[in-house]
């Protein structure tokens, strides 16, 4: 489907970072994209509107400014359009914000998710792909994080809502045979990225000679994953809806597959980097030194998040192709151009 011929793909969170890049890729391949986003002000609405402006240049793009928690509005989109595939990327993002505004997470990530997956079931879409998060690994310290690990100890409400999405998705796969695939993203970065993410914040502060907050005194490790690699993985999975696992055993159940059409994958870079090394790479690219403000670990955060993406490799041949130096260079080139 994603490789040849036109498919109608509904993408939520289309004004967001990953949603924008994925939509642009699919539109350039000739597909019809129905984009849904409420364009909230969690971060710069101007950035979201500029992403949307670029998507609207494609004649096969249609935009619906709706809140996923509005059941009637979501139902109307499915009723009035033939939807082949759903890719649910919309969510209230951010671990730290979930500590102060829990209701927005329940509304978007739980109520909104149920509205989407229930419409996908009733309107018989062929594949439902959704964003989970590396944050579901929570208190687990066995590295690298594997989809074979159980994820029963989330450290933030954000992580708990993503774990809930995986459980809800399994119930729909089991009850209605809806093919569902959950993707645990690891620290996605790149051009048009989110202003609340590390690379964006660090670049902005270094250029403006402001100190940058370095949590856990810099003793953090992340599997930073370039957005084009993430998009490539999703595009490949469009053509590979989840199938029941014939080797799944109810007596010794694995958490990443099922007797139902259900799969969970990690999407990471397989090249983890220390936070201080990450900062040095940004400094080198900018030709400026950072002022570091060392802070203790933040509530809800984890010291290390490294992905084992072997299952994704076996399923669709996923191999990340962009290294950190290339990715940071591409982001900073975009940042300087966009912000003049």
Domains of the chain, first to last: 8-187+227-267+306-321 (3.40.50.720)
Strand 8-12 to 32-37 pairing: parallel
pLDDT above 50 (res 3) = no
Task: Check residue 327 and give its pLDDT.
Answer: 97
Task: Check residue 18 and give its pLDDT.
Answer: 98
Residues 279-328 pLDDT 10s: 999 999 999 999 999 999 888 788 899 999 999 999 999 999 999 999 99
The residue whose two tokens read 């059941």 is: 71
pLDDT above 50 (res 105) = yes
Average pLDDT over residues 58-80: 98
- Written as six digits, the tokens of 75 are 């139902």
Task: Check residue 98 and give its pLDDT.
Answer: 85
Among 42, 158, 172, 262, the one annotated catalytic: 158
Respond yes or no on whether the N-terminal peptide bond of residue 32 is cis (omega within 30° of 0): no
DSSP letter string over 107-165? IIIIIHHHHHHHHHHHTT-SEEEEEEEGGGGTT---SSB-TTS-----SSHHHHHHHHH
- pLDDT above 70 covers what percent of the chain? 99
Average pLDDT, the chain: 95
Strand 273-274 to 221-222 pairing: antiparallel
Task: Check residue 94 and give its pLDDT.
Answer: 80
Task: Check residue 302 and give its pLDDT.
Answer: 86
158 is catalytic: yes
Strand 221-222 to 180-185 pairing: unpaired
Q: Model confidence at 2, in pLDDT bands (50, 70, 90)?
A: low
CA distance 258 to 253: 8
Q: Model confidence at 132, in pLDDT bands (50, 70, 90)?
A: very high
- pLDDT above 90 covers what percent of the chain? 91
pLDDT above 50 (res 270) = yes
Residues 200-244 pLDDT 10s: 999 999 999 999 999 998 899 999 999 999 999 999 999 999 999
Task: Check residue 96 and give its pLDDT.
Answer: 78
Average pLDDT over residues 26-52: 97
């Amino acid at each position: 489907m994603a490789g040849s011929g036109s498919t109608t793909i509904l993408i939520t969170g289309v004004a967001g970072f990953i949603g924008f890049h994925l939509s642009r890729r699919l539109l350039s391949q000739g597909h019809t994209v129905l984009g849904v986003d409420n364009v909230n002000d969690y971060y710069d609405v101007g950035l979201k509107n500029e992403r949307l402006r670029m998507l609207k240049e494609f004649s096969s793009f249609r935009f619906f400014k709706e809140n996923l928690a509005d059941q009637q509005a979501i139902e109307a989109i499915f009723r009035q359009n033939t939807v082949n595939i759903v890719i649910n990327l919309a969510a209230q993002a951010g671990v730290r914000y979930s500590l102060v505004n829990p209701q927005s997470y329940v509304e978007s990530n739980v109520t909104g998710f149920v509205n989407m997956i229930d419409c996908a079931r009733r309107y018989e879409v062929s594949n439902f792909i959704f964003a989970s998060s590396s944050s579901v690994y929570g208190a687990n310290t066995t590295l690298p994080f594997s989809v074979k690990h159980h994820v029963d100890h989330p450290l933030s409400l954000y992580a708990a809502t993503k774990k809930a999405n995986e459980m809800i998705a399994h119930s729909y796969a089991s009850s209605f045979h809806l093919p569902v695939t959950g993707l645990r993203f690891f620290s996605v970065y790149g051009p048009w990225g989110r202003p609340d993410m590390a690379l964006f914040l660090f670049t902005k502060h270094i250029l403006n000679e402001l100190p940058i907050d370095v949590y856990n005194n810099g003793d953090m490790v992340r599997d930073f994953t370039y957005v084009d690699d993430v998009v490539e993985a999703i595009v490949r999975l469009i053509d590979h809806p989840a199938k029941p696992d014939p080797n799944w055993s109810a007596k010794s159940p694995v958490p990443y597959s099922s007797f139902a059409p259900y799969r969970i994958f990690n999407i990471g870079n397989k090249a983890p980097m220390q936070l201080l090394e990450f900062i040095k790479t940004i400094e080198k690219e900018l030709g400026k030194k950072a002022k570091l403000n060392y802070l203790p670990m933040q509530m809800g955060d984890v010291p290390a998040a490294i992905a084992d993406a072997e299952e994704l490799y076996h399923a669709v041949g996923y191999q990340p192709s962009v290294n950190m130096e290339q990715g940071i260079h591409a982001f900073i080139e975009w940042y300087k151009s966009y912000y003049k």
